[in-house]
Structure 1
Amino acid sequence: MVNNMLEGKVAVVIGGAGGIGKAAAHRLAASGARVVVVGMNDLKAVEEIAAGLPGAGHMAALASITDSATLTALAQDVQGRYGKADILVNAAGFTKPVSHADLDALSDELIDEMFKVNWRGQFAAIRAFRALLVASGDGLVVNVSSISATTGVGSNVAYCAVKAGLDIMAVSLGRTLAPHIRVVNVAPGVVDTTFVPGRGADFNEKVAGTTPLGRIGTPDDIAAAIEACATHLTFTTGTTLVVDGGRRLN
């Protein structure tokens, strides 16, 4: 069912094949947007996601957030097909569990990769789509951050650092790109996806038991917050919206 709150809008979801990205694409499409579902290397997968979205006029595409040229090409493709972009969702990223106490295991190579994928890539995507978002007159960027940015508890120390950097990026760009583009981060706690390798049902149950609202998040919980940034929180920019069931309170 489409509710038409975003009718006429074009939303680009980078990381659209992941749990949160896929849920966000569905939410935005259900609100009337035409959605560009962007994957990294499996076109068939994002084509299937795009084909299953409510509404019409959706598109599947590939781009790598570590290759700025592909992001520029993506923006050109979106401009060619739709003539504009109104919403950019940065839901792509990766991590690797490393004990915070094991400093040697957090190698220079892993640190560089964490920043390249989880900070530089999001900035590069915003840079590539800036002109289209400005032309929209009502542009919105939503980055998927994490409560790790403020709790310092996460899959590894570098992950916490890049998410803190992503949050301050929202502050900087929220100020710089206003009034034409709003920039809002959505910060989940633990979410029921396969994003962190090695985390299974036992981990999720343990976290749920110590979360004030009694469960971990679902991809749709985070997608609902992303949708709200586009549909209801239209006087919000340069800030981070926490969606964690109260997890950070512990």
Structure 2
Amino acid sequence: MKKVALVTGACGGIGQAIVRRLHAEGWDVALNGFNTQESGSQAALELTGAIYIDADVSSSAEAQRMVQETVTHFGRLDAVINNAGVAKQIPHADLDAVDDEFWDFIMAVNLKGPWNIARAARAHLAQTRGQIINNASLAGLVPSGSSIPYAVSKAGLLHLTQLLAKSLGPEIRVNAVAPGYIDTPLTHDWAELREYVAENAPAKRLGSPEDVAEVVHGLLQMDYVTGTTIPVAGGLQLL
């Protein structure tokens, strides 16, 4: 029987790359998005055996439904990739530009979302000795990022990763990836940052969604790694 992965935020650049990589490696995949029914369903149709589930990760009830639909359809769950996330460019010095609505929204999706999914999936993952992989950010490791709320949400996600690894082991491994600048449709127009990364990152190139997917796939094969965060940033964390 094929292993099964649930990938949230599967309609974006990084999510699509993760889904395609896992499918190519022989996994069955449940794609999740929110209010992306048309594009999500089309993406699932292009991958034999995949399904799409439209659900809001910030809702614990929706997270529970998403996990249950995945298990009902495939009969098991081996991995959850918490990739869903939101971001908006706000200068860090402009504290007044961050209103309550934005703060609550970004925490609900970026931090509460992975928590909701972990709780909903833990019993199923324990049965398969599976893994949770959280897509965090280099902004969670160093004081950077598109906004202060974004960076705080990702720092919290990295700490959540460690706490869950301690709490859910040994049956479930919990790890994280921390991308730096990744060239996606969302970030493609961030010209100043693109130029900085290309010139200053030790890797001397921009990151791609496939770079993140490569690390996610690698972590899924590492049975003795848990509570770990792997930067996917071309060495930007060294600057």
Which residue in the other structure is 2:200 paired with? 210
Q: TM-score, normalised by structure 2?
A: 0.95
Partner letter of residue 135 of structure 1? Q
Residue 171 (1) aligns with residue 181 (2): no
Which residue in the other structure is 2:234 paired with? 245
1:34-73 correspondence runs (5 A):
34-53=28-47, 56-73=48-65
Root mean square deviation of aligned Cα: 1.5
Residue 194 (1) aligns with residue 188 (2): no
Which residue in the other structure is 1:4 paired with? none
**Would you say how many aligned residue pairs link Structure 1 and Structure 2?**
239
Which residue in the other structure is 2:25 paired with? 31
For the Cα contact (< 8 Å) 2:201–2:236, is it kept in 1?
A: yes
1:83-94 correspondence runs (5 A):
83-94=75-86
Q: Deviations over 1:181-233 (max 9, x none)?
A: 1101000000001335x8344541332111111112100000110011112x2
For the Cα contact (< 8 Å) 2:231–2:237, is it kept in 1?
A: no
CA distance 1:201–1:100, shift in 2 (3 Å): closer
Which residue in the other structure is 1:10 paired with? 4
Partner letter of residue 10 of structure 1? V
Shift of 1:63: 0.9
SS in structure 2 opposite 1:38? strand
SS in structure 1 opposite 2:70? helix
Shift of 1:168: 0.6
Which residue in the other structure is 2:108 paired with? 116
Q: Which stretch shifts more, 92-101 or 76-85?
A: 76-85
Shift of 1:239: 1.4
Partner letter of residue 163 of structure 1? K
Out of 77, 82, 87, the position equivalent to 1:95 is: 87
Partner letter of residue 134 of structure 1? A
Which residue in the other structure is 1:139 paired with? 130
Q: Give, in whole Å, the separation in 1 of the partners of 2:176 and 2:130.
A: 14
Residue 81 (1) aligns with residue 73 (2): yes
Q: Deviations over 1:155-185 (max 9, x none)?
A: 1111111111100111100010001111010
Q: Give, in whole Å, the separation in 2 of the partners of 1:79 and 1:118.
A: 23
Structure 2 gap segments, 5+ residues each:
none
Shift of 1:234: 2.0
Q: Deviations over 1:103-148 (max 9, x none)?
A: 1112222212121111001100111111111122x21101101111
Q: Give, in whole Å, the separation in 1 of the partners of 2:149 and 2:66.
A: 29
Q: TM-score, normalised by structure 1?
A: 0.91
SS in structure 2 opposite 1:89? strand
Shift of 1:61: 1.3
SS in structure 2 opposite 1:174? helix
Shift of 1:59: 1.2
Partner letter of residue 170 of structure 1? T
SS in structure 2 opposite 1:151? coil
Q: Give, in whole Å, the separation in 2 of the partners of 1:120 and 1:195.
A: 22
1:148-163 correspondence runs (5 A):
148-163=139-154
Which residue in the other structure is 2:16 paired with? 22
Structure 1 gap segments, 5+ residues each:
1-6
Shift of 1:17: 0.3
